[in-house]
Amino acid sequence: MKRTSLTLESLDYGAQQLAAVDADLGRIYTRLGAPPLWAREPGFASLVHIILEQQISIKAAQTVFERLCAHLGEMSPQRMVSAGEEELKAFGLTRQKARYCFGLAERIHTGKLNLAQLDALSDTEGRDALLAVPGLGPWSVDVYYLMALRRPDVWPLGDLALAAAMQEIKQLDAPATHQQQVGIANAWSPWRAVAARLLWMHYLDSR
């Protein structure tokens, strides 16, 4: 069963629906319009990129990712397994991230994890399969579902930019806690991934 994926058209439709039910999101939409799709190609390379983005800036992660692609020649599980964990560290990966990326590559290379089958699984089953991979926590898996698989109703809990943006638009005393995020974002279902994009857009624009 093919799952619903966001398109530019459904993204704008979802943003309009959110603007109609939440005045704070409506102000973002009026000011900035529909958010970018921020789509990534599903597959191994996107998961590696997400692992690299953990706990460092997007720009720094992009630099490491590009360096890694250049050294490997192609971003594939086979090439990464051939390179080996030690070689990955030589390209600028920390010991931990080298272990995570190599472990992911090995799981896919041996057939233990089949990313192409995720669309055939329920979101719960697919997320569980990814969460079983060391280095892929809830935030990483949610970002993959939101950007690569483009699911419309995913909220990446633990995203610091979203917590800060939610604090600003909802006039909270501090960045939104996990509990606050869940409570507020539940009202945005079935378009939580669109709301996340609106808030990211607001966060980037306000800075």
Burial of 145: CB neighbours in 10 Å, binned 0-12, 13-18, 19+: buried
The pLDDT tens digits of the residues spanning 65-123 come to 999 999 999 999 999 999 999 999 988 899 999 999 999 999 999 999 999 999 888 88
Return contacts of 104-112, CB within 8 angstroms, 24+ apart.
104/44, 104/47, 104/48, 104/51, 104/77, 104/133, 104/135, 104/136, 105/44, 105/77, 105/78, 105/80, 105/81, 106/77, 106/81, 107/133, 108/44, 108/77, 109/77, 109/78, 109/81
Helix axes 160-170, 178-186, angle to 10 degrees: 70
Question: What is the total count of domains within the chain?
Answer: 2
pLDDT(2) > 60? no
Domain that holds residue 130: 44-148
pTM: 0.92
- C-alpha–C-alpha distance, residues 118 and 130, integer Å: 9
Boundary residue ending a domain (101, 121, 148): 148
3 belongs to a structural domain: no
Q: What's phi and psi for 186, nearest 5 deg?
A: -60, -30
Q: Are residue 111 and residue 18 in the same domain, yes or no?
A: no
Q: Which is it for the CA torsion 11, 17, 20, 22, positive or negative?
A: negative
Closest Cα partner for 58 from 205, 204, 206? 204
Q: Are residue 75 and residue 133 in the same domain, yes or no?
A: yes
Return contacts of 122-127, CB within 8 angstroms, 24+ apart.
123/3, 123/151, 123/154
Q: Are residue 79 and residue 59 in the same domain, yes or no?
A: yes
What is residue 4's predicted lDDT score, i.e. its pLDDT? 85
55 belongs to a structural domain: yes
Q: Are residue 185 and residue 131 in the same domain, yes or no?
A: no
Q: Are residue 78 and residue 125 in the same domain, yes or no?
A: yes
The pLDDT tens digits of the residues spanning 139-152 come to 999 999 999 999 99
pLDDT(44) > 80? yes
- C-alpha–C-alpha distance, residues 91 and 70, integer Å: 10
164 belongs to a structural domain: yes
- C-alpha–C-alpha distance, residues 15 and 11, integer Å: 6
The pLDDT tens digits of the residues spanning 131-179 come to 999 999 999 999 999 999 999 999 999 899 999 999 999 999 999 999 9
Angle 200-177-182 from CA coordinates, rounded to 5°: 75
pLDDT(1) > 80? no
Looking up residue 22, the CATH number of its domain turns out to be 1.10.1670.40
Q: Are residue 142 and residue 54 in the same domain, yes or no?
A: yes
Amino acid at 24: D
When pLDDT is averaged across residues 22-30 and rounded to a whole number, the result is 98
111 belongs to a structural domain: yes
